């Protein structure tokens, strides 16, 4: 399995990251995307990946960073892209859940789409309560590609993102008993467009809902989707692994 989205630099892992990584390996997780989302965490995500070769670093500016100077964020990000081997731009996107100026969010997001095209990198998209605006911005740029991370929108919107060529990644919420929408989305996403993730330390899947999430739990996401789609779990594992490798151009051995 590949956990296509985790934040292992988070302080929740300060005391036992070696064990967390060992448990991931023991549960057949062989690669983890180390996803940054700010000036500070882009550094942390990269540094961790230098220490653990199963981690593949990304860098981006989360929409909540739009409270800071946008120009400065973007200059910092482009410098980072130029000077580091990274595998995606993100997470970036739009988040209307919190009160952050929407215009500034859109500028920050759109400029990252342009960077992704300029450097031919996939995008990792965060979208919360902003699915229509997210779609409209991505649609403007036919050359951009990537993944809708921990996708939480409707199946109708999922089809539109698939039309743009985007992958759909599902995480813990697909395992929640009352999660009708993510289960519907799981049922309609074509196998060759599906990724799995944890978003550790957030959004732990059943039966660990509410606890700290970690990459070894990605197996619960895989199990649930294999039931929903009625696809053999080993086959689904192989397919989602290949999708992730293809999207992010992951080498077999990074070290």
Residue that the structure tokens 């060759």 belong to: 192
- The sign of the dihedral angle between the CA atoms of 214, 217, 218, 224 is negative
Q: How many CB atoms lie within 10 A of CB 147?
A: 29
Q: Which is nearer to Zn ion, 121 or 171 (CB)?
A: 171
Residues within window 19-58 making contact with Zn ion, judged by CB under 5 A:
none
Q: How many CB atoms lie within 10 A of CB 33?
A: 31
Nearest approach, Cβ of 171 to Zn ion (angstroms)? 9
Nearest approach, Cβ of 42 to Zn ion (angstroms)? 13
Q: Which is nearer to Zn ion, 95 or 226 (CB)?
A: 95
Tell me the residue nearest to Zn ion as measured from the CB.
199
DSSP 212: -
Nearest approach, Cβ of 185 to Zn ion (angstroms)? 18
Structure tokens of 211? 């606890």
Q: Which is nearer to Zn ion, 213 or 240 (CB)?
A: 213
Q: Which is nearer to Zn ion, 65 or 199 (CB)?
A: 199
- What binding mask, one character per residue, do residues 186-205 give for Zn ion by CB under 5 A, x or -? -------------x------
Cα separation, 173 vs 233, in Å, equals 19
Cβ-contact 214, 27 below 8 angstroms:
no
Report the residue count for the chain.
255
Please work out the total of residues on this chain that contact Zn ion, with binding judged by CB under 5 A. 1
DSSP 205: P
Nearest approach, Cβ of 149 to Zn ion (angstroms)? 6
Cβ-contact 108, 134 below 8 angstroms:
no
Q: Which is nearer to Zn ion, 90 or 224 (CB)?
A: 90
Q: Which is nearer to Zn ion, 9 or 226 (CB)?
A: 9
Nearest approach, Cβ of 91 to Zn ion (angstroms)? 5
Nearest approach, Cβ of 203 to Zn ion (angstroms)? 9
Q: Which is nearer to Zn ion, 52 or 202 (CB)?
A: 202
Nearest approach, Cβ of 157 to Zn ion (angstroms)? 19
Q: State how far Cα 130 lies from the chain centre.
A: 17
Q: How many CB atoms lie within 10 A of CB 13?
A: 20
Cβ-contact 195, 247 below 8 angstroms:
yes
Residues within window 146-165 making contact with Zn ion, judged by CB under 5 A:
none
- At residue 82, the 3 state secondary structure works out as helix
Contacts with Zn ion by CB under 5 A lie at: 199
């Amino acid at each position: 399995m590949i956990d296509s989205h985790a934040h292992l630099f988070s302080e929740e892992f300060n005391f036992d990251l070696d064990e967390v990584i060992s448990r991931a390996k023991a549960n057949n997780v062989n690669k983890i995307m180390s996803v940054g989302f700010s000036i500070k965490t882009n550094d942390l995500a990269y540094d961790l990946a230098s220490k653990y070769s199963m981690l593949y670093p990304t860098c981006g500016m989360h929409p909540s960073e739009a409270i800071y100077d946008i120009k400065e964020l973007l200059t910092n990000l482009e410098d980072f892209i130029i000077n580091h081997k990274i595998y995606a731009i993100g997470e970036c996107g739009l988040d209307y859940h919190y009160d952050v100026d929407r215009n500034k969010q859109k500028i920050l997001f759109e400029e990252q789409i342009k960077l992704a095209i300029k450097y031919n990198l996939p995008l990792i998209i965060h979208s919360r309560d902003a699915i229509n605006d997210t779609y409209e911005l991505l649609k403007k740029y036919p050359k951009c590609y990537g993944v809708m991370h921990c996708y939480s929108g409707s199946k109708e919107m999922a089809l539109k993102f698939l039309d743009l060529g985007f992958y759909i990644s599902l995480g813990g919420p697909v395992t929640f008993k009352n999660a009708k929408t993510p289960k519907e989305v799981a049922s309609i996403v074509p196998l060759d467009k599906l990724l799995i993730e944890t978003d550790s330390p957030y959004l732990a899947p059943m039966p660990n809902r509410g606890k700290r999430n970690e990459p070894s739990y990605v197996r619960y996401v895989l199990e649930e989707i294999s039931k929903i789609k009625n696809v053999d779990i080993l086959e689904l594992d192989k397919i989602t692994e290949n999708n992730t490798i293809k999207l992010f151009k992951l080498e077999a051995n990074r070290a």
